[in-house]
């Protein structure tokens, strides 16, 4: 009986040692620990280039959209505006960013006036085709022009609909899928801030 | 003292109820519309949106086939479809309103896309919207223009 217990204990020790070794090995492996750090370098309406690294120290909420979008984009911006209000003084440590997937048209129609109507803190970025494509690729998201004869200008955009959360070191922390209530986003941000 | 407390409690309880006024309803045949709302727009160049709740009290399905309004030259019914995280907005030319069921045109779902606005939609204003049903015929409802930040109708379904 005692012998059996001894054997079981030694097995437990062996298992935990193997577990420890596996954990240590994982930590040493750069492939496992390298963070995903998506990147953009895009101009605001005034032409000033903003880069991901400019926001180090802040939590950044990134949305890819277009201002001719009647449903998803204004609904998400309304949620973001609510989050920024509900964060109170902690809102200083959060930067919401709207990256246009339809930059040419959005520059013409006035991105800032549109976003300011939701919340003054939301930064609108609209690059050229190349820099927009680079940001979309880096975030591993989707933003594509679709021909639609019935839409204004003869096209509409299909685009990723989530809000992406980037941490103060530039690391991808996660995403809030469309429809996540503002309260849930606020709660998660408050936990992290 | 107790009287004041009771009065204050009563007020505290009734305030949230008062804030959510009952939605205006329009009934024609088996179809009842309620809670029609839109968001204020920045200028008239971008499309506006139209949301409403549709109830079918009948014993057979009806279909919403189109919308018309004096504020937009090109109103259309669309459905937001999110697949693998990407949103698309296909045209919805015939939305079924099942017998005994309620269908909402709401954020992230079916909605009216109001293109070619005649002027900006101002917060606090309203406009008429006519919904065309196969069985119930055309039904008009007053649509409230809510703040651009609105996320739902300002009234509660009765």
- Reduce the secondary structure of B30-91 to three states and give it as a string: CEEEEEEEEECCCCCCCCEEEEEEEEECCCCCEEEEEEEECCEEEEEEEECEEECCEEECCE
pLDDT of res. A13: 72
Position B3 scores a pLDDT of 64
Question: In the predicted model, what is the mean pLDDT of residues A115-137?
Answer: 97
Query: Is the per-residue pLDDT at B13 higher than 80?
Result: no
Element holding B14 (H helix, E strand): helix B2-19
Whether B87 and A177 lie within 8 Å, measured CB to CB: no
Give the residue-averaged pLDDT of B35-47: 96
How far apart are the C-alpha atoms of B41 and B25, rounded to whole Å? 25
Question: Nearest C-alpha of chain A: how many angstroms from B75?
Answer: 10
B48–A114 C-beta distance less than 8 A: no
| Residue in chain B nearest A82 by alpha carbon | B149
B80 CA: distance to closest CA in chain A (Å):
8
What is the mean predicted confidence (pLDDT) over A30-55?
Answer: 88
- The closest CB to that of B86, out of A78, A113, A158, belongs to A158
Query: Does this model's pTM top 0.95?
Result: no
Q: Whose CA is closest to A133, among A41, A50, A62?
A: A41
In this prediction, residue B50 carries a pLDDT of 98
Give me the mean pLDDT over the B25-44 stretch: 97
> Chain A closest CA to B149's CA: distance in Å?
5
The pLDDT > 70 percentage for chain A reads: 90
Closest to A63 in 3D by CA, of A157, A193, A151: A157
pLDDT of residue A41: 98
pLDDT surpasses 50 at A28: no
- Coil vs helix vs strand at B145: strand
The torsion angle over the Cα atoms of residues A17, A19, A25 and A31, rounded to 10 degrees, is 180
Q: Which residue in chain B is spatially nearest to A182 when comparing CA positions?
A: B151
Looking at residues B33-47, what average pLDDT do you find? 97
Q: For chain B, what is the mean pLDDT?
A: 90
Average pLDDT over residues B28-42: 97
Distance CA A131, CA A51 (A): 11
Task: Say yes or no to pLDDT of A19 above 90.
Answer: no
pLDDT at position A30:
42
**Confidence band, pLDDT 50/70/90 cuts, at residue A122:** very high
Phi, psi of B99 (to 5 degrees): -55, 130
Percent of all residues in chain B with a pLDDT value above 90, rounded to a whole number: 77
pLDDT for res A10 = 76
Do B135 and B62 meet the contact criterion of CB atoms below 8 Å apart? yes
N-to-C CA span, chain B: 35
Q: Band of the pLDDT at A23, cuts 50, 70, 90?
A: low
Q: Which residues of B touch A185 (CB under 8 A)?
A: none
pLDDT tier, A20 (very low <50, low <70, confident <90, very high otherwise): low
pLDDT of residue B6: 64
pLDDT for B30 beyond 70: yes
* 8 Å CB contact between B71 and B114: yes
The size of the A-B interface in CB pairs under 8 A is 91
Residues of B in contact with A124 (CB under 8 A): none
Q: Do B115 and A152 lie within an 8 Å CB cutoff?
A: yes
Give the confidence band of A189 by pLDDT, cuts at 50, 70, 90: very high
Residue of B nearest to A76 (CA): B151
- For chain A, the average pLDDT equals 89
- Any residues with CB less than 8 A from the CB of A31 and at least 6 apart, and which? none
Q: Which strand (E) or helix (H) includes residue B7?
A: helix B2-19
What is each CA distance from B43 to A155, B29, B47, in whole angstroms? 20, 37, 10
Of A117, A142, A148, Cβ closest to residue B42: A117
Please judge whether A178 and B148 are an interchain contact, meaning their C-beta atoms are less than 8 angstroms apart: no
Candidates A152, A160, A178; nearest CB to B47: A152
- Those residues whose C-beta lies under 8 Å from the C-beta of residue A1, and which sit 6 or more positions away, are none
The predicted pLDDT at position B122 comes to: 98
B88, B91, B108 member nearest A150 (Cβ): B91
Look at residue B14 in the predicted model and tell me its pLDDT.
55
pLDDT digit string, tens, across residues A144-169: 888 888 888 889 888 889 999 999 99
Q: What is the structure's pLDDT at A32?
A: 45
Complete DSSP assignment for chain A: -HHHHHHHHHHHHHHHHHHHHHHHHHHH-HHHH-------EEE-TTS-EEEGGGGTTSEEEEEEE-TT-SSHHHHHHHHHHHHHHHTGGGGGGEEEEEEESSHHHHHHH-HHHHHHTT-TTPEEE---HHHHHHHHHHTT--EEEEE-TTSGGGEEEEEE--EEEE-TTS-EEEEE-TT--HHHHHHHHHHH-
High-pLDDT (> 90) share of chain A, %: 71
- Position B9 pLDDT exceeds 90: no
Tens-place pLDDT, residues B70-117: 999 999 999 999 988 889 889 998 999 999 999 999 999 999 999 999
Answer whether B47's CB lies under 8 Å from B115's CB. Answer: yes
pLDDT of residue A87: 98
Which of B40, B42, B87 lies nearest to residue A178, judging by beta carbons? B87
Asked if residue A21 has pLDDT above 80, the reply is no
Residue A70: the pLDDT is 93
Taking an 8 Å cut-off on Cβ atoms, the answer to whether A78 and B150 are in contact is yes
């Amino acid at each position: 009986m005692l012998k059996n217990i001894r054997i079981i204990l030694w097995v437990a020790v062996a298992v935990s040692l193997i577990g420890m070794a596996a954990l240590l090995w994982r930590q040493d492996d750069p492939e496992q620990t390298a963070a995903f750090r998506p990147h953009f370098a895009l101009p605001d309406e005034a032409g000033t280039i903003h880069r991901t690294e400019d926001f180090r120290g802040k939590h950044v909420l990134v949305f890819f959209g277009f201002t001719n979008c009647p449903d998803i984009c204004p609904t998400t911006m309304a949620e973001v505006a609510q989050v920024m209000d509900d964060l109170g003084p902690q809102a200083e440590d959060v930067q919401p960013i709207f990256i246009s997937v339809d930059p040419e048209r959005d520059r013409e129609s006035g991105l800032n006036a549109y976003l300011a109507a939701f919340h003054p803190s939301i930064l609108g970025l609209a690059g050229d085709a190349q820099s927009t494509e680079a940001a979309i690729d880096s975030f591993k998201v989707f933003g594509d022009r679709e021909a639609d004869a019935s839409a204004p200008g003869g096209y509409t955009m299909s685009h990723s609909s989530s809000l992406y959360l980037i941490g103060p070191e530039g690391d991808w922390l996660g995403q809030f899928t469309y429809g996540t209530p503002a309260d849930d986003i606020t709660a998660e941000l408050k936990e992290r801030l | 003292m107790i009287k004041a407390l009771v009065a204050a409690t009563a007020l505290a309880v009734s305030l949230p109820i008062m804030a959510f006024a009952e939605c205006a309803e329009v009934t024609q045949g088996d179809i009842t519309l309620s809670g029609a709302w839109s968001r204020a727009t920045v200028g008239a160049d971008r499309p506006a949106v139209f949301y409403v709740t549709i109830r079918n009290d009948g014993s057979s399905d009806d279909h919403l086939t189109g919308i018309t309004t004096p504020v937009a030259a090109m109103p259309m019914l669309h459905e937001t479809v999110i697949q693998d995280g990407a949103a698309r907005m296909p045209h919805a030319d015939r939305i079924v309103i099942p017998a005994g069921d309620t269908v909402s045109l709401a954020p992230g779902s079916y909605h009216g896309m109001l293109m070619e606005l005649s002027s900006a939609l101002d917060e606090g204003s309203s406009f008429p919207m006519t919904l065309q049903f196969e069985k119930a015929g055309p039904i008009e409802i007053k649509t409230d223009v809510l703040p651009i930040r609105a996320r739902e109708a300002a009234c509660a379904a009765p």
